[in-house]
Amino acid sequence: MLGDIITPDLFASALRMATPLALAAIGGTICERAGVVNIALEGIMLTGAFFGTAMVLLTGSPWLGVIAAVASGAGISAVHAFASINLRSNQVISGTAINLLALGLTGFLMELWYGHPGTTDPIKVLRPIFNFESPGGGAIAEAWRWFDSIVFSHTPIVYLTILIAIVAQVAIHRTKWGLRLRALGEHPRAVDTVGVSVYRGRWVAVLMSGALAGLAGANLTIEQVGSFTENMTNGRGFIALAANIFGRWTPVGSYLASLLFGFADALQIKLQILRGVVSIPPQLFLMLPYLLTVIVLAGVIGRAVAPAAVGEPYEKG
């Protein structure tokens, strides 16, 4: 029974499940490092998922779908940027508006374009990059099966996400751009004083986070599910926010935290095969990632310190 649960696929699946969370969490990291709270990740992800799917349905090309998802994510996050940076709205409230807007807009367009609510037709998905032949029997073949499944079984965005986490980590901590970004979130006045535009820096950060959350949506639909369903993000944007905090506002930390949540999700799915054996209701497993999020947040806060100026609108002096 344990052998049915702990399989190479469990770990491979954890990596897959972690991907949309990690992309959104890294987006959240970049945004919050610049001093803007992005509670809209959930809605941006949903927007990307929808427009990505719509583009694939229109053109038949998954890669054009990915581009559409990224572009639409950045597009809807521009609304958040305009409201929270230029209009100095409350960032949490502006984010809530975007979440609702995304829910309404995707549902509305779904009915307008496809004539029905619910789920779209299946789309052409991105396939795993590698496809190795498995060698014959024996222990080596078994080891190879594990390795192949965990390392080589994935679709492009899964690998891209790992790359993004590393590049973002270096960019934030080792470059001039990153220094400025962090200063925007800690002491925007200082950035302004040396003649760098706070508004522009924050705009770039919010758009980047939108693009990443849009890419997360593309991963959900164009790589994992293969269709769009209304409200399919199901709280992932909020879990991503928690992953960002657990990862202490660093991209690699966000990625690792997302792996934990991804593992919980993968485990939850695997555990459902136990249903035949022990009568545990599936809903209790479905709660697992959400419960874990609360537990992790409860354990980590106090030791993790948010950027000092996060959530505060900046008024030009």
Partner 1 sequence: MNEKREQSVLVQRSWMVAAQKIGAPLISAALAVVVGSFIIWASGYDPRAAFIALWEGSFGSPKAIGDTLLKATPLILTGLAVAYGFRAGLFNIGAEGQLFLGGLAATWLGLSLAGLPWFLLIPLMLLASMLAGAAWAFVPAILKARIGAHEVITTMMFTYIGRYLVSYLVIGPLKAPGQIPQTAELPGAGQLSRIQALFSEATLASFEFLKLGRGHLGIVVAVIAAVLVWFVLKHTTLGYENRAVGFNPWASQTAGISVQSTTVKALCISGGLAGLAGSTEVMGVHHRLFDQFSSGFGFTGIAVALLAKNHPIGVIPAALLFGALAAGAGRMQFQADVPQKIVLIIQALVIFFVAAEEIVLWLIRRRQKEAVSHAG
Residue ranges binding partner 1 (CB under 8 A): 39, 79, 83, 87-90, 92-94, 96-101, 103-105, 107-108, 110-112, 117, 234-235, 238-239, 241-242, 245, 281, 283-284, 286-287, 290-291, 293-294, 297-298, 301-302
Q: Which is nearer to partner 1, 32 or 192 (CB)?
A: 32
Are the beta carbons of 241 and 36 closer than 8 angstroms? no
Encode the chain in three state secondary structure: CHHHHCCHHHHHHHHHHHHHHHHHHHHHHHHHHCCCCCCCHHHHHHHHHHHHHHHHHHHCCHHHHHHHHHHHHHHHHHHHHHHHHHCCCCHHHHHHHHHHHHHHHHHHHHHHHHCCCCECCCCCCCCCCCCCCCCCCCHHHHHHHHHHHHHHCCCHHHHHHHHHHHHHHHHHHHCHHHHHHHHHHHCHHHHHHCCCCHHHHHHHHHHHHHHHHHHHHHHHHHHHHCCCECCCCCCHHHHHHHHHHHCCCCHHHHHHHHHHHHHHHHHHHHHHHHHHCCCCCHHHHHCHHHHHHHHHHHHHECCECCCCCCCCCCCCC
What residue type is assigned to position 144 of the chain? W
Q: Which is nearer to partner 1, 23 or 110 (CB)?
A: 110
Shortest Å distance, C-beta 166 to partner 1? 26
The CB-of-126 to partner 1 minimum distance in angstroms stands at: 28
Minimum CB distance to partner 1, residue 141 (Å): 40
Whichever of 294 and 308 has its CB closer to partner 1, that residue is: 294
Closest to partner 1 by CB, 110 vs 126, is 110
Name which of 108 and 130 has its Cβ closer to partner 1: 108
Q: Work out how close the CB of 91 gets to partner 1 at its nearest, in angstroms, rounded to a whole number.
A: 9
Minimum Å gap between C-beta 250 and partner 1 is 18
Shortest distance, CB of residue 79 to partner 1, whole angstroms?
A: 8
Which of 226, 262 has the CB closer to partner 1? 262
Pick 92 or 196: Cβ nearer partner 1: 92
- The rounded distance, in Å, linking the Cα atoms of 64 and 42 is 22
Cβ proximity to partner 1: between 191 and 242 the closer is 242
Q: How many of the other CB atoms lie within 10 Å of CB of 96?
A: 15
Least Å distance between CB 102 and partner 1?
Answer: 8
Q: How far apart are the first and last CA of the chain?
A: 65
Q: How far is the CB of 99 from partner 1 (least distance, A)?
A: 8
In the complex with partner 1, the residue whose CB is nearer, 35 or 62, is 35
Q: Give CA separation, 309 vs 36, 304, 306, in Å.
A: 8, 15, 8
At 229, phi and psi to the nearest 5? -125, 140
In the bound complex, what is the minimum distance in angstroms from residue 43's beta carbon to partner 1? 9
